[in-house]
Amino acid sequence: MTISLTVNGVAYQIDDSRADDKLVDFLHEDLNLTGTKFCCGIGVCRACTVQVSKPPNPATTPMISCSTALGILDGSVVSTIESVAQDGVLDEVQQAFLDNFSFQCGYCTPGFVMASRMFLDDLRAQPVPADQLEDAMMAAIGSHICRCTGYVRYFEALRPLAEAANTGQEGQR
């Protein structure tokens, strides 16, 4: 028996003797995808967040890879921070975090990027009333822990993108 898993567009078959192995270890040790960060290791800080979907359901979920066993991911599609920039060009979230000096050491940043991207996709698919946008942003990234900064600049960077996504006015940063 094997576990079928697609990571950043590449399909893998993993022996199910590894069902209890954590996703973050598979990413680091087997695939050398070290952009996903391991920090607390107990499901608290969200530094290790990746994007997961389970076709045919197109919905994506932020998943904490330090606490997710391979065994429950059979048939899943995983996207990591390495899949975000295209041909060396940062995506809108990465660029906004950079432009706003949102991070210092950057260890928490991949998790913030992945969660923010899924949040923007959710807004595009299902906008929220304007007066609920701040709460929605808090729900999306408010539980991510950053040990260096005051969080404010992550929110300042994401806010214009969220407003644009929420009103269908893309590209207004």
Distance CA 77, CA 124 (A): 21
Token pair for residue 118?
């899924």
Minimum CB separation of residue 116 from ligand FES in Å reads 14
Q: Where are the beta strands (DSSP E) in the chain?
A: 2-7, 10-15, 49-54, 57-64, 76-79
Can residue 104 be called a binding residue for ligand FES (CB under 6 A)? Answer: yes
From 14, 23, 33, 47, residue interacting with ligand FES (rule: CB under 6 A) = 47
From 31, 69, 149, 155, residue interacting with ligand FES (rule: CB under 6 A) = 149
Residue that has been written with the tokens 């391979």 in this structure:
70
Query: Residue 165, SS3?
Result: helix
Distance CA 105, CA 26 (A): 24
From 14, 33, 64, 123, residue interacting with ligand FES (rule: CB under 6 A) = 64
From 21, 107, 127, 136, residue interacting with ligand FES (rule: CB under 6 A) = 107
Can residue 130 be called a binding residue for ligand FES (CB under 6 A)? Answer: no
Can residue 155 be called a binding residue for ligand FES (CB under 6 A)? Answer: no
From 39, 69, 98, 136, residue interacting with ligand FES (rule: CB under 6 A) = 39
Distance CA 162, CA 173 (A): 10
Q: Are 40 and 52 in contact (CB under 8 A)?
A: no
Can residue 66 be called a binding residue for ligand FES (CB under 6 A)? Answer: yes
Can residue 114 be called a binding residue for ligand FES (CB under 6 A)? Answer: no
Contacting positions for ligand FES (CB under 6 A): 38-41, 43-48, 64, 66, 103-108, 146-149
